[in-house]
Amino acid sequence: MPLLDTRVPAVVLRIDRNPFHHGTLGAVRSLGRAGVEVHVVADTAGSPVHRSRFVHRAHTPPPDASPDAVRAVLQQVAGRIGRPAVLVPMDDASAIAAARTRDGLAASYLLPELPGALAERVADKAELAAVCAAADVPHPLTLIPDSAARAAADVRRLGLPAVAKWSRPWLLPAGSGLRSTVLVRSERQARELYLRTEEASSRLLLQAYLPPGQDRDWFFHGYADRSGAVRAGGPGRKQSAWPRGAGLTAVGRWTPNPQLRELTERLVGELGYRGVLDLDFRRCGVTGRYHLLDFNPRPGAQFRLFEDGAGVDVVRALHLDLTGRPVPDALPRSGREFVVENYAPLAALRAAPTGRELAWYAPDDRMPGWAMCGLWGRHVSRRLGQRLRATAAGAAGPRRAAAAGPGATSATGPGADPAAGSGTDSAAGSATDSAAVPGGRPSSGPPVPTPGSSPSSLPFLHSPGSGTSGPSGSAVVSVSSGTSVTDNEKASSR
């Protein structure tokens, strides 16, 4: 008997238009290799995913992530398939929309029994802070300013640099230059970011900075079955990232970590969460405690790292559980590596005695790997050209200023804060800033692709959050459990 029930097809859903989302290809291959008929509802025209031999059929994605649009498209796809299918959302926006429309999809799709608002709650960065506090899970001190002046005061309290996040990054408008996460290096930068709150359609969070370092960035992938037990998946260590120092996992290793498992199981139990989850942690260099940074209610892009001895990963566990089959217990394959070869080409070439999977190239599915090479080459050439033009323009500025004579002033004006920059660039943060914190990415286009990134506009999902007003006037939504403010501020100043 095959591992999965091959009579039940799967629909892989992604609303984000990032062509370099290798997690989508991983889901297609994982299910297709097990004999499942795989349908893809995503924009695959410019992506290597559509070249996979395991794609049974590609369908046009919804025009936006509103519940009505997602439900209408999925019902059309269900009509073409003609029988119930397992739905596999691959980004936060699609996971949230699917959870909100679960009742309307139940006749055609198999979905975990997840309360409609829970996926949205854990994906919201502000709500996550309150969730961690309730579950006694460490989380960096997080402040929500209510004015530009308060934003400046909050970064003084936290210490510079501090981390700035938009609570609902999937709402960031395309072309705005806003990034989901940036490293704030001045009070002026914090004020300017706050002034773009209305444009971002999301609350601004300011967070104590936990510096990256060796053995500090970890993740946990798992599947919470119908009983609430965390099955499949496991803990992994981020060995290298893109951009360097943070960002998405370029090389990850399956590494035993009982503390992360205990934290994950506690959080799942507290929330009553069901389904696939992807958690990002950073270990504080001062206290040694693991702080939860992100809770993604869907598979992470590197989920294929965690294929265990029975051949089960979190996507296969989802299919097994929803089709009434048991998820087998199997030994973890500790030491196994996952490499995204366009971000870490040398790591893809070195020996891997404990096992390795590449994100794009596979001997039994070669075409996506070749397609990625061509697409990535064009992308790198375009980005290099942009940087060369920007460098040339920057070099021309001082020459023009010198020609203007000694009485001229700089564009930023006398007394300007050079660390803050000016205009959109300051508010968005530089590429270097975004690389310094997990999940930093532009709000549109593929220059810094991030797994689980989100569509340009989801106004229907925006709602005022909750928080406790502190004496400073900002909402204090989290103080790390068991970790004093002093500990977090030490971390932020290192």
Position 115 scores a pLDDT of 81
Position 383 scores a pLDDT of 86
10 Å Cβ neighbour count for 487?
A: 19
Q: How confident is the model at residue 1 (pLDDT cuts 50, 70, 90)?
A: confident
Point out the least confidently predicted range of 280-284, 285-289, 458-462.
458-462
Q: Cα 346 to the chain's mean position, in Å?
A: 24
Residue 480 has pLDDT above 50, yes or no: no
CA dihedral angle for residue 319, residue 322, residue 323, residue 328, rounded to 10 degrees: 60
Position 406 scores a pLDDT of 52
Position 206 scores a pLDDT of 97
The residue among 165, 19, 48 whose CA lies nearest residue 465 is 165
Integer Cα distance of 20 and 379 in angstroms: 10
335-385 pLDDT per residue, tens: 999 999 999 999 999 999 999 999 999 999 999 999 999 998 898 899 899
What angle is formed at CA 92 by the lines to CA 89 and CA 96, rounded to 5 degrees? Answer: 80
Integer Cα distance of 369 and 346 in angstroms: 16
Scanning the structure block, which residue is given the tokens 């989302």? 21
**More confident: 228 or 461:** 228
Average pLDDT over residues 262-286: 96
291-314 pLDDT per residue, tens: 999 999 999 999 999 999 999 999
Residue 430 has pLDDT above 60, yes or no: no
Phi-psi region of 311 (alpha: psi -120 to 50; beta: other; left: phi over 0): left
- Radius of gyration from C-alpha coordinates of the chain: 22
Q: How confident is the model at residue 484 (pLDDT cuts 50, 70, 90)?
A: very low
Indicate the pairing of strand 181-184 with strand 217-224.
Answer: unpaired
Position 396 scores a pLDDT of 75
Backbone phi, psi, residue 292, to 5° = -75, 125
Integer Cα distance of 286 and 216 in angstroms: 11
Q: Is 73:65 a contact under the CB 8 Å cutoff?
A: no
Percent pLDDT > 70 in the chain is 80
Position 473 scores a pLDDT of 59
Indicate the pairing of strand 337-339 with strand 248-254.
Answer: antiparallel
**More confident: 212 or 277:** 277
Q: Is 290:272 a contact under the CB 8 Å cutoff?
A: no
18-30 pLDDT per residue, tens: 888 999 999 999 9
Residue 459 has pLDDT above 60, yes or no: no
SS3 67: helix
Indicate the pairing of strand 217-224 with strand 275-283.
Answer: antiparallel
**More confident: 477 or 4:** 4
Longest dimension (CA), the chain: 83
Integer Cα distance of 267 and 130 in angstroms: 12
Beta bridge partners of residue 109, listed in sequence order:
85
CA dihedral angle for residue 287, residue 289, residue 294, residue 298, rounded to 10 degrees: 160
Give 66-70 contacts, CB < 8 A, sequence gap 24+. 66/97, 66/458, 66/460, 67/97, 67/100, 67/101, 67/460, 70/13, 70/15, 70/94, 70/97, 70/98, 70/101
Integer Cα distance of 84 and 81 in angstroms: 8
Residue 156 has pLDDT above 80, yes or no: yes
Q: How confident is the model at residue 435 (pLDDT cuts 50, 70, 90)?
A: very low
Q: How many residues does the chain have?
A: 494
Q: Is 172:200 a contact under the CB 8 Å cutoff?
A: yes
Q: How confident is the model at residue 401 (pLDDT cuts 50, 70, 90)?
A: low
SS3 479: coil
Integer Cα distance of 244 and 211 in angstroms: 13
Q: Is 29:368 a contact under the CB 8 Å cutoff?
A: no
Position 170 scores a pLDDT of 87
SS3 10: strand
Residue 456 one-letter amino acid: S
Residue 180 has pLDDT above 70, yes or no: yes
Position 418 scores a pLDDT of 32
Residue 482 has pLDDT above 70, yes or no: no
65-79 pLDDT per residue, tens: 889 999 999 999 999
Q: Which pair of tokens denotes residue 222?
A: 């798992």
- Which sign does the torsion angle of CA 73, 75, 81, 86 carry? positive
253-272 pLDDT per residue, tens: 999 999 999 999 999 999 99
The residue among 179, 170, 128 whose CA lies nearest residue 437 is 179
What angle is formed at CA 336 by the lines to CA 243 and CA 19, rounded to 5 degrees? Answer: 40
CA dihedral angle for residue 112, residue 115, residue 121, residue 127, rounded to 10 degrees: -130
Q: What is the mean pLDDT of the chain?
A: 84
Residue 420 has pLDDT above 60, yes or no: no
Distances (CA, A) of 376 to 11, 368, 408: 27, 12, 43
Question: Which helix (H) or strand (E) segment is 221 a member of?
Answer: strand 217-224
Q: Which pair of tokens denotes residue 341?
A: 């070869």
Integer Cα distance of 87 and 9 in angstroms: 9
Q: How confident is the model at residue 17 (pLDDT cuts 50, 70, 90)?
A: confident
Position 18 scores a pLDDT of 86
Integer Cα distance of 268 and 229 in angstroms: 8
